[in-house]
Amino acid sequence: MEKKIYGLLGEHLTHSYSPAIHAALGDYEYRLFEVAPADLPSFLADGDFAGINVTIPYKKAVIPYLSEISDAAKKIGSVNTLLRLPDGGLRGDNTDYYGFAYMLDRAKIHVAGKKCLILGSGGASLTAVAVVTDRGGTPVVISRSGENNYENISRHADADVIINTTPVGMYPETEAEAVDLTMFPNCKAAADLIYNPSRTVFLQQAESLGMKTVNGLGMLVNQAALNFRLWTGQEAPVEIMTRALMDEFGL
């Protein structure tokens, strides 16, 4: 019996921990699928995969090609998990919500009653907005050209929590800084969805200012655990997944 093929879909996948995580999980093959935007429709229709994770820049772009979408993904407006249906169609889901909520809990970052700046307006930003809102926080999305942007970000100097959902500071451009945290004297916590490097310039500065910090590794592992359950119907061994990452990458 041939192994089922799963994988990660993105435009540029120079480095990903996902194959190491899934190699520790089950008897299936996990590939990286780098797909140009123009090739996305044909890949989704004819790609040789049983299920797939979706990352930048396709979390919203895949939605028109789905035959089914979960309530969570529909509410958020973003998809990070695809399952190939028996008729060849695709079902979209969002496991990032669960992973991001875990990430905040692990760091004991409480957002209820807090003003939370969310850097970026892509698919991951939609997830952060949903979690913050559901937990009683007030999300403010900072984008490059929206009403709240990097030119007028100083109007939000009273922010309590800052969440980076952009790729700014991600490997290999590790010297890039998402925002200067000294502009936010009330800020007590910083969360970065980036996990490579484990401590971005953004998080290093947050630590130097005495803020609570957390990177995206816990989110990655826990959303992958839910991926595994959706694909196989089995519970994922989170401890084994985390240990596999630590052993392979020295995290």
For the chain, give the number of residues. 251
160-193 per-position pLDDT tens digit = 999 999 999 998 899 999 999 999 999 999 999 9
Peptide bond preceding 37 in cis form (omega within 30 of 0): no
Check residue 87 and report its DSSP letter. T
Q: Name the pLDDT band for 148 (thresholds 50, 70, 90).
A: very high
Q: Name the pLDDT band for 247 (thresholds 50, 70, 90).
A: low
pLDDT at 2 over 80: no
59 carries an active-site annotation: yes
Of 140, 146, 191, 139, the residue nearest 165 (C-alpha): 191
* Reported pTM: 0.82
26-61 per-position pLDDT tens digit = 678 889 999 999 999 999 999 999 999 998 889 999
Give the 3-state secondary structure of 158-197. CCCEEEECCCCCCCCCCCCCCCCHHHCCCCCEEEECCCCC
Contact call for residues 98 and 130 (beta carbons, < 8 A): no
In this prediction, residue 227 carries a pLDDT of: 86
Check residue 29 and report its DSSP letter. E
In this prediction, residue 246 carries a pLDDT of: 63
Query: Tokens in use for 213?
Result: 């910090």
Of 161, 155, 149, the residue nearest 117 (C-alpha): 161
Higher pLDDT, 67 or 227: 67
In this prediction, residue 97 carries a pLDDT of: 92
In this prediction, residue 26 carries a pLDDT of: 66
- Among candidate residues 59, 74, 115, 212, the one labeled active-site is 59
Q: Name the pLDDT band for 249 (thresholds 50, 70, 90).
A: low
76-134 per-position pLDDT tens digit = 998 999 999 999 999 999 998 999 999 999 899 999 999 999 999 988 899 999 999 99
In this prediction, residue 190 carries a pLDDT of: 98
Q: How far, in Å, CA of 13 to CA of 33, rounded?
A: 8
